[in-house]
Amino acid sequence: MVRTRFAPSPTGYLHVGGLRTALYCYLFARANGGKFLLRIEDTDQERYVEGAVENLIRTLDWVGLKNDEGPYLDEKGEVQQKGDFGPYIQSQRFDLYKKYADELVEKGQAYYCFCTRERLDELRKKQESLKQATMYDRHCCTIPLAEARKRAEAGEPHVIRQKIPNETLKFKDLIRGNVQFDGKTIDDQVLIKSDGFPTYHLANVVDDHLMEITHVIRGEEWLPSTPKHIFLYNAFDWKAPEFAHIPLLLNNDRTKLSKRQGDVAVEDYIQKGYIKEAIINFAAFLGWHPGAGEETEIFSLTELEQKFSLDRVHKAGAIFNIEKLDWYNWQWQKRLFNEKMQNIAKEIDAKVEINQPKPNVFTYTFASPENKVKFNEEKAKNLREICEKYIAEELLKKDSELMNKALILNEEKIVKEPKTITENIRYFFELPTYDKILLTNAKMNVDEELAKSSIQKATEVLDQITEKDWTEENLKEKLLTLIQSLNLKNGQVLWPLRAALTGQEFSPGVFEMLWALGKEESLSRLKKTAI
């Protein structure tokens, strides 16, 4: 069975690069009917951040990456563990690492090293002066085991180092293909530090073996560590897992993404209003593509589970483009909103007809006008939930019915960019001061005289329409009939009308604005403009 793991260090919040690694591990396990593990690698206690484990679990749970084994939060928010290979927190496994390090010492695959910091510093400086690779010179490798053990038991400060074979190591990376390293260039790595704590490399290998990890999926920056890990597997006579090193995240200028340049925590994006579906979709495409012939880029987590494969992961670095994340967020806001409104429409009217020719687009026909009103009320309610925190406080006190209409007419803008809602609806409640030149349009041959005449004649027609008949359909019919009778083009009348109603160059159409503002406010604005 395929078993993957995500093994972060609890040194802060989960960043986008870490999320992508976790996602690829999760997707590969799900695509192959396997298990996805979470393991906390906290051997470096100096970098441990209080609360980081809880935050990591909450963030992964929020995006939908729930682990099959490992730490989780119970109903009280306390860390618990599940699975048959625990504990899944390395600080609770220290005895194991010492045991396996001692085993390598007994086998002659590792040795005690008593070199002081001063000697190691001097060695490094000498090698640098000679322009040599800075590596340990195996000064302690020849100390007889009995003597070394006696010195260690007497309390002499020491570490345990692995004896790296002087041989060429070849392995196949599932993304990068055949990889080769020369053992001569690899230092005798420390396995147990002088404080008795294991190094990352030892703990990582021991845990992956004991937890029966079959595939290690991690960032490209870990590729140089892979020969160290494989040499450890060989020293233990263990079968190594398969490795897959995913590409680096890059800025637009192809420099490595840094925290300062944008590699912020996933939690920061959550606080900025990005939704989990968009974040996951975006992260998946940072180095992966479903393949030739696939037109859509919008995939749910479930759909990604069915599509994902490591052979579609790119070797080259992946560009982190915040504009692309914005696009995913808009697409997912729209998709989820439309799905929600479809369900509401069905609940309101059993006779509703829904046509969905392509994803996320639907039209509806209600059996009665009353039910359409109910639907619009629900739509406005849901739109308000999306953007309410961005609406200016003074506007929230305005007429609620007009607010609902303003939200409905700005549906796409709200779903795409809710932060801009105030500037997009303010003119519904207060007509701004605008230059009368806005009423004219050279392309449509609308000069000041024609604009004034069109507004006057339209006002006369609209004044005859009762409040009861003040509907989009009726308003459209009356105005188009007027335009035809004047032998004018639609734009020659509708353009100055819309500008007079809104004071905006861009706004909803004339019929929608007339419906939203109502008869009294619409005529008031038009009559003022026509003077």
Give the range with max mean pLDDT: 49-53, 159-163, 384-388, 393-397: 159-163
Q: 417, 513, 470, 5: which is closest to 211 by C-alpha?
A: 5
Given this structure, which CATH class describes domain 436-530? Answer: mainly alpha
**Mean of pLDDT over the chain:** 92
324: enclosing H helix or E strand: helix 322-348
What pLDDT digit, counting tens, does each position of 42-55 carry?
Answer: 988 778 788 999 99
Phi and psi at 135, nearest 5°, equal -140, 155
Comparing 394 with 264, which gets the higher pLDDT? 394
Fold for 93-246, please state it.
Rossmann fold (3.40.50)
Interhelix angle 276-284/16-31, nearest 10 degrees: 80
Predicted confidence at residue 223, as pLDDT, reads 94
Q: Mean pLDDT over residues 180-184, rounded?
A: 91
Delimit the domains of the chain by residue range: 3-90+249-318, 93-246, 327-429, 436-530
Q: Mean pLDDT over residues 105-119, rounded?
A: 96
With 90 as the cut, is the pLDDT of residue 136 above it? yes
What pLDDT digit, counting tens, does each position of 201-218 carry?
Answer: 999 999 999 999 999 999
Give catalytic residue positions.
259
Domains 3-90+249-318 and 93-246 belong to one CATH topology = yes
With 90 as the cut, is the pLDDT of residue 319 above it? no
Give the Cα separation of 169 and 284 in Å (integer). 32
Q: 266, 249, 267, 269: which is closest to 258 by C-alpha?
A: 249
Structure-token pair, residue 102: 């001692």
Predicted confidence at residue 357, as pLDDT, reads 55
pTM of structure: 0.85
What pLDDT digit, counting tens, does each position of 224-271 carry?
Answer: 999 999 999 999 999 999 999 999 988 877 878 765 555 578 998 998
Give the Cα separation of 58 and 65 in Å (integer). 10
Interhelix angle 52-63/276-284, nearest 10 degrees: 90
- Note if the bond before 87 is cis, omega within 30 degrees: yes
Q: Mean pLDDT over residues 124-128, rounded?
A: 94
pLDDT-based confidence at residue 117 (cuts at 50, 70, 90): very high
Predicted confidence at residue 260, as pLDDT, reads 54
Specify the CATH number of the domain 3-90+249-318: 3.40.50.620
